[in-house]
Amino acid sequence: MTTTSLSTTHPIHLIAFTMSSKRQFDYRIGDRVAERPKTHGLFTRSPELRQQLQKYRTQRYGTVVGMSTRVNKNGARFKVLLIQWDGLKTPSEHARMRICPASEIARLTNEVVVPGDM
């Protein structure tokens, strides 16, 4: 019985090397943030329907007022941000992966636009 070991140039390892678990942005209290843009997959040619749905697709902006750590059901820890959204009275918690700096919103929006969505 022969065993073969995969070298670090094997395609499986190359995929693992290119994937990063490093978070994309660091946040501090007082930072201006926005919700990350989402792909909406709105496929309609009707201008009336687009305008009707547009009111539910607004971009929220806010300020980081706190940070904390949560534990999921598997015991893994993850950080959440406490954000005071513009126009709301009370702050709310959000996972860091759903938030981006307000200065990066234009670039990130261009990356997630679905053809026919805009």
44 or 90: which carries more pLDDT confidence? 90
pLDDT at res. 16:
43
> Both tokens of residue 77?
């820890």
The backbone torsions φ and ψ at residue 64, rounded to the nearest 5 degrees and listed phi first, read -70, 120
Give the pLDDT confidence of 51-94 residue by residue, as tens digits: 777 666 678 899 999 999 999 899 999 889 999 999 999 999 99
Which residue ranges make up each domain of the chain?
24-112
Mean pLDDT of all residues in 10-29:
58
Nearest Cα residue to 94 out of 74, 73, 66: 66
Residue with tokens 């806010």: 62
Amino acid at 41: G
pLDDT greater at residue 48 or residue 3:
48
pLDDT bucket at 25, cuts 50 / 70 / 90: confident
Give the percent of the chain with pLDDT over 70: 65
The pLDDT mean for the chain works out to 76
CATH architecture of the domain formed by 24-112: Roll (2.30)
Taking a C-beta distance cutoff of 8 angstroms, is the pair 99, 32 a contact? no
For residues 80 and 67, give the distance between their C-alpha atoms in angstroms, rounded to a whole number: 6
Residue type, 118: M
CA–CA distance from 15 to each of 6, 18, 20, 51 (Å)?
13, 5, 10, 41
